[in-house]
Chain A
Amino acid sequence: MSGRRLLDVEDLHVSFATSRGPLRAVQGVSLTLDQGKTLGIVGESGSGKTVLSRAIMGLLHRASTTQTGSVRYDGTEILNAPNDDLRKLWSTHIAMVFQDPMTSLNPVQRIGNQITEPLKIHLNLSKGEAKETALSLLMQVGIPSPVERYEAYPFELSGGMRQRVMIAIALACAPRLLMADEPTTGLDVTVQAQILDLLSQLQHERDMAMILVTHDLGVVATRTDEIIVMYAGNVVERAPTNVLFKSMAMPYTEALLKSTPRIAEPSHTRLTAIEGRPPDLLNPPSGCPFSPRCPYAQEKCHLEKPPLVEAAPGHSYACWYPLTASDPASRPSPRPDPVQV
């Protein structure tokens, strides 16, 4: 594991031009990723995590988005780079596994062709060489009878199989960085475990860095080195995985955990739901974006937006009254749960 800095994102802002004004989907996100490491990006829908992952890769539609900040891959600035330059990186250096394999795979093309396509384009392999590599990839991702499946169309495969094909396509040109955007959402529990295992195994074998974008805290808990929690386009907490779960600082992270049912808990445990709604990204309110819903919110929270500060080595958060404040007296007590209607 060389530990080389592969990805360096600094103060990335992404907004979409809509008829009602700019929609600020990502607001000032910074992150780093070293070779061989796994970063988890966690957030609910509307948090900006998918936009972030696409922006990092340079997949957003240039005409309707404004992207500022810096995204450096292996030292080279790639934000807003022309497509020709990005094409040299895509597949060979950075690859993405998308969420829904049924819509991400070409339904009228055989899967064999879809895997050999990047091989022929990027690596200039001949048809025979590409096919051999593709078959080998199919075996590596655990698809039985690869020779027969090579000729199959996506609709002939199950969800788990299709996702494996997606992974094979992503890994075809041996990228150094793999971005997995909700790779297991919608898959069965047992298949999810298989796919996650596969990703970990391949990552280890190839010494790849991986970014795992998901809404499921369970998926990132045991498979990531570092986690970023996103809310309303902002990074609200960033910490090594163990630290995040053990001593989380953000009320949002705590609320997210508390509202997730756990197998370990007895049945009929009352879940602590988060009241309210995510803020309007067209007109972000002043103050902390989570303050309207935060059980610990104070006056200051509604007025001033807390900056992301690195309070402990590797552990950053954006909160005026974090849960880990050294002086317990300064932390306000949570309001009692409102009556759930």
Chain B
Amino acid sequence: MSSVSLTNPTNEAFADIKEEITAEEAADPTKRKLGVLFWICVGWIVLVAFAATFASLLPLPNPNLGNYNSVQNAGPSWGHLLGTDDLYRDIFSRLIYGARVSLVVGFGGALIGLIVGGIPAMISAYRRGRIDTALNTGSYVVLAFPAIVAVIAIVSFWGKSLFKITLIIGLFAAPLIFRVVRASTLSYATRDFVLAAKALGASDTRILSREILPNIMPTIVSFGLIAVATIVVLEGSLAFLGLSVPPPTPSWGNMLNEGSSLLTGAKGQTNPWLVIFPASAMFLLLISLNVVADKLRAYFDVTEIKL
């Protein structure tokens, strides 16, 4: 703590006690660590994304074609790290390629939702007026609609492809994202610093991008990650119902679908690995997304001023 220097008036600071503690805390890195768990989860997500993106460069057996030299429904072994399924395909490889579907639908859907829902939300919450009322009511209406039913119906009707599924899910995620972003924007749009920016002559675009967006970013990121997790599950459910990407393209959901019949021995054999691995992969990804979202939220909350 610098002592007050009377000969140099520009060093005067009139910090109140509470603020001083907050300032010390803010400067002290031990106070705001994200934690080891956070970084492990980030690592996992990055690893999965990396593997999925560069899957074709990795030395993986073909996920779609079975290698009839292998053993059918084998458990994990050195040749096949996670075993094979009943069509002689390598589970590990299918898992990694399947990650692509989950990640594309998850992050893609969330991104579409953010653009379609989030951007109008910011503008509408800032401008208020009749458009805001209309959009707000509209979001209630869409949210009241059972999304899964609608998605199932549309997919059945329109056709199944990665792009279509991502688009549909994204559009149905939009109203929820709209509400979250709108609420967040509202809480900042009424603050004095936004008014001050207006009084300074800043254009609306500038205010939205420079003043409001940086403040709602933590909420968006946190909620966005939760949205990703939810969409991944949704895709899994769709795949389980046979409504996701058509076979032989692997997705965790349809791996679960195919594997479920082998759990009970309906086809005469049992291979629990077919279910365990995709389920575990999905579980780990979801947990990681949730942990990262939660830690980020807590991290950014702490840095808000505490009075």
- A/B contact in complex, CB under 8 angstroms: yes
B20 contacts the other chain (Cβ, under 8 Å)?
yes
> How long is the Cα–Cα vector from A225 to B305 in the complex, in angstroms?
39
| Residues A46 and B9 in contact, CB atoms below 8 Å apart | no
Q: List 18 A-B contacts (CB under 8 A).
A: A19-B25, A19-B31, A20-B21, A23-B21, A46-B16, A46-B17, A46-B18, A275-B6, A276-B4, A276-B12, A277-B15, A277-B16, A280-B17, A281-B17, A338-B9, A340-B9, A341-B9, A341-B10
> How long is the Cα–Cα vector from A338 to B6 in the complex, in angstroms?
8
CB A231 to nearest CB in B, in angstroms, measures 12
A201 contacts the other chain (Cβ, under 8 Å)?
no
A28 contacts the other chain (Cβ, under 8 Å)?
no
Residues of A close to B1: CB separation below 8 A: 280
In this complex, what residue of B is CB-closest to A276? B4
A18-B21 in contact given A275-B4, A280-B1, A292-B4 (Cβ < 8 Å): yes
As a 0/1 sequence over residues 249 to 292 of chain A, the CB contacts with chain B under 8 angstroms (1 = contact) are 00000000000000000000000000111101110000000001
| Residues A276 and B14 in contact, CB atoms below 8 Å apart | yes
Q: Which bracket fits the contact residues of B?
A: 10 to 19
In this complex, what residue of B is CB-closest to A48? B17
Residues of A close to B6: CB separation below 8 A: 275, 338
B301 contacts the other chain (Cβ, under 8 Å)?
no
| Count of residues in A whose CB is under 8 Å from the partner chain | 19
> How long is the Cα–Cα vector from A154 to B1 in the complex, in angstroms?
45
B3 contacts the other chain (Cβ, under 8 Å)?
yes
In this complex, what residue of B is CB-closest to A44? B16
In this complex, what residue of B is CB-closest to A19? B31
Interface residues of A in 292-341 (CB under 8 A from B): 292-293, 338-341
A45-B4 in contact given A18-B21, A341-B9 (Cβ < 8 Å): no
Apart from A23-B17, A339-B9: 17 A-B pairs, beta carbons within 8 A: A19-B31, A23-B21, A275-B4, A275-B9, A276-B12, A276-B14, A277-B12, A277-B13, A277-B14, A277-B15, A277-B16, A280-B17, A280-B20, A281-B17, A292-B4, A338-B9, A341-B10
> How long is the Cα–Cα vector from A282 to B21 in the complex, in angstroms?
9
